[in-house]
Structure 1
């Protein structure tokens, strides 16, 4: 039986990762590997990807809202939002573990994305040419992980749905404004799903240990 948050305890995290989420994480890992291979080898997937990107970039989607959503992937926007949520969760639970786990997960985004961008050196869409280093998208990964962690820690289903819709808008905005190709965004989503899954597993194990200590009468730290 799951217990609601209690002041002074970690409380319950979102439902612990089980078979469905493990399957989705495995699928995300396989898809990320496939997309990365296609980018590294200049595979046949890149041609339809670039055609789709050009279609979206030249479509009738309004530029102003697209730019607004694309900007939600900026560190200057996403990190303050995550910071507010981490401060609230820390105050609510009296524990630093959720904030520490989230901060470490967020730190992995540039640590993983930056080297991959440099190594793969994928050329950007025409508005960004001749620059390279666009796969995976740093903005898409920043938005997905930051807002995903917010939904994970606040544990509200409607926030999870909103997070999915918000990140879809961010990805569409990035492609519409010519900042990235669709595969750049999709690859970032796959990588972000793996990071969020790892964070959820870490938090679930920590809560289980805390619950066992409380049940046995051992004071929690």
Structure 2
């Protein structure tokens, strides 16, 4: 994004095509708004509260770890996005003023809020079908937020993709931390007895 090139040219050709799509303005605006702090963060807070309550009630070892790790991931959104926006200084689509559109903050907020909520709720769902549906719903919701942002002309497509990639890795970090430090002593003893 720092230099003009074929990827940026393709991105700036794709943006107007999506902006001119048939998705109604109202629906696109609603989808874009789902990435806002006022909607996404309370949603994640509810999932954090529920997962913490369920884990504590069930006596899960380090029941607090997954909720805290997810909250830290949400706190990382402005810490990572704002400096990147300043460093890259990408201009917005036509009609948007100034710079600082890459990566998309709304997309990052949605990715962590809805992705983090899905990660917190997965252990409490029974059956492969319910888990699969939750993951599909999370993916569609995040795709919808990105589509709404581009359709309304708030971001270029690669602004959205950059946030998906960056905060997808942040969520992978949450999973790794919980997998490493959230297992009880019995799990470590079982691992120690396994042949290497």
TM-score bracket relative to the smaller structure: 0.7 to 0.9
What residue number does 1:98 align with? 66
Q: Choose the corresponding residue for 2:45, options 58, 83, 91.
A: 83
Deviates more, 1:196-205 or 1:43-52: 43-52
What residue number does 1:200 align with? 175
SS at match of 1:127: coil
Give the 5 Å matches for 1:55-94.
55-94=17-56
CA distance in 1, matches of 2:117, 2:95: 32
Deviates more, 1:109-118 or 1:156-165: 156-165
Task: Check 1:127–1:110 CA distance in 2 against 1; reply closer, same or farther (3 A cut).
Answer: same
Q: CA deviation at 1:43?
A: 2.3
CA distance in 1, matches of 2:84, 2:184: 35
What residue number does 2:99 align with? 132
Q: CA deviation at 1:174?
A: 0.3
Q: CA deviation at 1:44?
A: 2.1
- What number of residue pairs does the alignment pair up? 176
Deviates more, 1:147-156 or 1:202-211: 202-211
Give the 5 Å matches for 1:104-143.
104-129=72-97, 131-143=98-110
Could you tell me whether the CA contact under 8 Å between 2:103 and 2:159 is conserved in 1?
Answer: yes
Task: Normalising by structure 1, report the TM-score.
Answer: 0.76
Q: CA deviation at 1:56?
A: 1.0
What residue number does 2:152 align with? 177
CA distance in 1, matches of 2:23, 2:48: 35
Q: Deviations over 1:128-158 (max 9, x none)?
A: 13x1000000000110111001111111331
Q: Deviations over 1:36-78 (max 9, x none)?
A: xxx0122221111111101111222211000000000001100
Q: Which runs of 5+ in 2 are unaligned?
A: 57-62, 123-130, 191-196
SS at match of 2:154: coil
Q: Which runs of 5+ in 1 are unaligned?
A: 1-38, 216-221
SS at match of 1:149: helix
> Which portions of structure 1, spanning 4 or more consecutive aligned residues, are displaced by more than 6 angstroms?
none
Deviates more, 1:148-157 or 1:171-180: 148-157
Q: CA deviation at 1:214?
A: 8.9
